[in-house]
């Protein structure tokens, strides 16, 4: 399999896994404090990541890698989870799709600024059109909005795009799962004490759905998804593979239709096809 094709496959798997993140966070923050949720979803995979690093006898990152790893940790381990958890107290997970549609653009911009990539001008046309289609579709759903929630989600998209790009650069030398494991380990001295300090006085009233939400964002959103995602970005290019994020909202909607029996409209199918066309076009002009 060619490296670019392998990158797309790995990136697509990562996007499918990430598609459940915001709904799971929305469920979890109904019973968990957002600050505790952020600390817990970083602590649990950090311990697992450290176990993997020890089991495979991975060497420690070079001193030059510490600052980029800190940026990854601040962007995707702390920043995005915290800001989205806070935002989802004010807006619905459906409304957050508006901002998820901007994430590929954010990732591509930081791929240029931090990764030295230089996409063809046509790339930005396809990328912008795809983002506009996703955002426009979300706005058509008539979801209520909040200035605070929108501002928090916008900040989340910026720090996440930076964390994605920085992690992809590191993955070229350290490896995908190693990058997220070291970034999680770097955050553990802060996140573990916070999780213990902020934990609920009693877990007796916490429902199963909240526990499942915490489990999903801890294991899949914070660890397993990044194993595929960073590998895909490193293999296929930050700008090109990053456009796959445009499909994330529709994977989430398809999941809801399959598991919850929610209807799939003709407009949804049409927008999905159009977005796929934008992803294909952006990939063609990404290099």
Enter the DSSP assignment of 105: H
What residues does each domain of the chain span?
3-284
Model confidence pLDDT, tens digit, residues 110-158: 999 988 889 999 999 999 998 888 888 777 766 566 889 888 999 999 9
pLDDT of residue 181: 96
Residue 201, token pair as written in the block? 């006085």
Residue 200, token pair as written in the block? 């609920």
pTM, entire model: 0.88
Question: Hey, which bits of the chain come out as E strands?
Answer: none
Model confidence pLDDT, tens digit, residues 22-55: 788 888 998 999 999 999 999 999 999 999 999 9
pLDDT of residue 223: 95
Residue 86, token pair as written in the block? 């806070």
**Secondary structure, 3-state, the chain:** CCHHHHHHHHHHHHHHHHCCHHHHHHHHCCCCCHHHHHHHHHHHHHHHHHHHHHHCCCCCCCHHHHHHHHHHHHHHHHHHHHHHHHHCCCCCCCCCHHHHCCHHHHHHHHHHHHHCCCCCHHHHHHHHHHHHHHHHHHHHCCCCCCHHHHHHHHHHHHHHHHHHHHHHHHHHHHCHHHHHHHHHHHHHHHHHHHHHHHCCCCCCCCCHHHHHHHHHHHHHHHHHHHHHHHHHHHHHCHHHHHHHHHHHHHHHHHHHHHHHCCCCCHHHHHHHHHHHHHHHHHHHCCC
The Cα–Cα gap between 111 and 152 comes to 22
Enter the DSSP assignment of 222: I
The tens-digit pLDDT sequence of the chain (287 residues) is 677 789 999 999 999 999 888 788 888 998 999 999 999 999 999 999 999 999 999 989 999 999 999 999 999 999 999 999 899 888 877 677 778 878 999 999 999 998 888 999 999 999 999 888 888 877 776 656 688 988 899 999 999 999 999 999 999 899 889 999 999 999 999 999 999 999 999 998 899 999 999 999 999 999 999 999 999 999 999 999 999 998 887 887 776 667 556 566 777 778 888 888 998 888 888 87
Reported residue count of the chain is 287
């Amino acid at each position: 399999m060619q490296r670019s094709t392998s990158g797309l496959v790995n990136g697509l798997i990562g996007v499918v896994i990430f598609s459940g993140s915001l709904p799971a966070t929305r469920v979890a923050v109904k019973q968990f404090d957002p600050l505790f949720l952020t600390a817990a979803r970083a602590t649990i995979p950090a311990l697992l990541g450290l176990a993997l690093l020890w089991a495979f006898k991975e060497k420690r990152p070079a001193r030059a890698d510490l600052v980029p790893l800190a940026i990854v940790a601040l962007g995707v381990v702390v920043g995005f989870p915290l800001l989205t958890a806070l935002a989802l107290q004010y807006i619905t997970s459906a409304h957050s799709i508006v901002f998820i549609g901007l994430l590929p653009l954010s990732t591509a911009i930081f791929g240029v600024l931090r990764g030295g990539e230089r996409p063809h001008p046509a790339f930005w046309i396809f990328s912008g059109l795809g983002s506009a289609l996703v955002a426009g579709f979300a706005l058509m759903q008539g979801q209520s909005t909040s200035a605070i929630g929108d501002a928090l989600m916008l900040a989340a998209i910026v720090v996440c795009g930076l964390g994605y790009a920085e992690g992809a650069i590191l993955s070229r030398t350290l490896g995908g799962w190693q990058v997220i494991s070291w970034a999680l380990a770097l955050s553990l001295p802060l996140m573990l004490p916070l999780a213990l300090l902020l934990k609920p006085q009693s877990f007796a009233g916490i429902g199963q759905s909240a526990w499942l939400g915490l489990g999903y964002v801890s294991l899949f959103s914070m660890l397993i998804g990044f194993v595929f995602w960073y590998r895909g970005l490193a293999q296929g290019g930050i700008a090109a593979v990053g456009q796959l994020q445009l499909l994330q909202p529709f994977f989430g909607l398809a999941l809801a239709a399959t598991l919850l029996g929610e209807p799939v409209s003709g407009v949804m199918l049409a927008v999905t096809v159009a977005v796929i066309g934008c992803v294909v076009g952006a990939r063609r002009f990404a290099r």
